[in-house]
Each structure stands twice: as C-alpha cells, then as structure tokens.
Amino acid sequence: MICGDCDKAILPGEPYRTYNIPSPSGPGTTVYFHTRSCKKVPVQTTQGPIRRH
C-alpha cells in the first residue's frame, strides 16, 4: 500500500486509515493514509519544467 499523503509505502503493522472515493461508473478507489502525521508531498503537475528550445 502507498500512502496518499507522503507517497511512501505503508509498512506492515503501521497504522493506516482508508478513504474510499466512490465512482459513478465502476468500483470506487480506495486510498490509504498513514494514521500518524506524515509529510505531504506537494501536488506535482504532469508538465515538466518549462524549457525553451
């Protein structure tokens, strides 16, 4: 399982919580989070750094 906050693996035995995102079409998505506070990674855009050719 990967934590949705810090994007790190949730190790076996570590407390975690789940959050279900229902989807109107098909099964919902379950995301996992560490129960303890962890470092949230900033949301990155799919675009890379702007380069000028």
Enumerate binding residues for Zn ion (CB under 5 A): 3, 5-6, 34, 38
Q: Residue 4, CB half-sphere, CA atoms under 13 Å: how many?
A: 12
Select 23 or 37, whichever has its Cβ closest to Zn ion. 37
Query: Considering the complex, what minimum distance in angstroms separates the CB of residue 25 from Zn ion?
Result: 29
Q: What are the two backbone dihedrals, phi and then psi, of residue 27, each rounded to the nearest 5 degrees?
A: -70, 150
Select 5 or 31, whichever has its Cβ closest to Zn ion. 5
Select 1 or 5, whichever has its Cβ closest to Zn ion. 5
